[in-house]
Structure 1
């Protein structure tokens, strides 16, 4: 199928959904004040685990958490893009600093879980009593990831996860498209190869970091602002690459430089496309 040559890797918070799922649950269930008081005192995942304990102590149930998640805002064009890319034969993955229960609940609610071949995120589980959600870091505190980029949170280096996905894609002869918004998405953006694509959300931290030194990124950069632009840009990349394969002797189309002042790639380029502080989350 048309998209069979692509692996699409999506961040989740502020990429698939329009908010941070952790903050959304905390605010929706009345824990904002406590969360803000504890934020400077503990790592993010430990704080979210504590919030789940507090909700249980206040009589809130797992069903209440799930109901809040199902109400999280999402641009309707994003699920449309996910379904279209899946129908075209792309291999879709999630790589997120949220947690498994939050992501699975939202994807299931929108009928998208079956579109993704895997979800890479912080693990979560329901305790033995079936009442309280427990949340843990992807990289345990006693096994730090050791990434030197400086934009990854202590609990998760997305770049290390993407390295494995890149190896799998290379073995299958596929290219990778990475979509994200936060500081934690910068490390994987730097690991993409020539021939891959990165889609940073315009005006968000990963876009600002890429614009500081565009030469560090080998992949083609195609920014987006909202769900409609995400859908149009992503499907254009997949469909155009599949329409025609350039002959091996044909010269590669020239790529114009990223113009961060205009906060977009020049139109000609698009048309001719061949240690975070304690308690802060990306």
Structure 2
């Protein structure tokens, strides 16, 4: 193993959509979803929507077929397969649910690349209805106490658990890839020797730019799927081959202007060098 743990969010980070919205929209329940959205938490809302779809005669098989058509870019697939081939330990931490994530990953031949999927549980009840449950059972347990995350899932707590488990096996380096507001909390749990890859102009990128002192890890934003694959594989190679830049610098154009210069004439990867020039 390369001694590298790569943690992915799922929605808008692996698939180029929100899988919950994708199912609701494709199965014709958008109007009810929008009506109920202001009245309940997202996790509870999705369980309610699946109950409504079940009452309309929509089956689990219908949902699975819908999920198989969720957009995922070939570069996202190749990035995952390449990172896995390089010996990285790949994991998912997502506020989607087990059924949605596993259905999509199996369809694209990616399920075996991941050693762990941390997300909201999903079960089929006696009536054949798919139920979505919270990762943290907030109905019977006290809240997790994190004001950055929704009550059903604190990704920061999940990252802390993963860190404790992998550090017991030896020193590891983390790369966290995400896009959403709830990807900020786990980003603050990373160390200076770790890396975070926020999707540019998405909520986590905005939060990191607004609170740069809260994130110790080196930041490399990505804008598109070509970026994601190139930057992720570059960071993995930097860790493996020891080509590092000062981790105290944030490689984000909300803080610095970025130059891209080749590591060497033979190296097709590009080395991101933060230039300390304020641009915003």
Provide TM-score, normalisation by structure 1.
Answer: 0.87
Please say if 1:228 is aligned against 2:226: yes
**SS of aligned partner of 1:191:** coil
Please give the residue correspondences for 1:95-114 in structure 2 after superposition, counting only pairs within 5 Å. Answer: 95-114=93-112
1:206 deviates by 0.2
Please say if 1:31 is aligned against 2:24: no
Alignment deviations for residues 158-184 of structure 1 (CA, whole Å, 9 cap, x no partner): 000000111223222111100000010
1:49 deviates by 1.0
Corresponding residue for residue 267 of structure 2: none
Please say if 1:237 is aligned against 2:230: no
- Equivalences, count: 264
Please give the residue correspondences for 1:88-99 in structure 2 after superposition, counting only pairs within 5 Å. Answer: 88-99=86-97
CA separation of 1:83 and 1:257: change in aligned 2, threshold 3 A: closer
**SS of aligned partner of 1:140:** coil
Corresponding residue for residue 152 of structure 2: 155
CA contact (8 A) 1:178 1:189 kept: yes
CA contact (8 A) 2:93 2:119 kept: yes
Please say if 1:136 is aligned against 2:103: no
CA separation of 1:266 and 1:18: change in aligned 2, threshold 3 A: same
Please say if 1:9 is aligned against 2:7: yes
Q: 2:62 aligns with which of 64, 69, 83?
A: 64
Q: 1:75 aligns with which of 64, 69, 73?
A: 73
1:132 deviates by 1.3
CA separation of 1:145 and 1:24: change in aligned 2, threshold 3 A: same
1:137 deviates by 0.7
Between Structure 1 and Structure 2, the one with more strand by share is: 2
CA separation of 1:262 and 1:75: change in aligned 2, threshold 3 A: farther
Corresponding residue for residue 205 of structure 1: 203
Alignment deviations for residues 86-137 of structure 1 (CA, whole Å, 9 cap, x no partner): 01110000000000000000000000000000100000011124x2101111
Corresponding residue for residue 279 of structure 1: none
Segments of 5+ residues of structure 2 without an aligned counterpart are 262-269, 275-280
1:145 deviates by 3.8
Corresponding residue for residue 277 of structure 2: none
Segments of 5+ residues of structure 1 without an aligned counterpart are 247-251, 274-282
Corresponding residue for residue 115 of structure 1: 113
CA separation of 1:144 and 1:242: change in aligned 2, threshold 3 A: same
Q: Which has the higher contact order (CA 8 A, sep 6+)?
A: 1
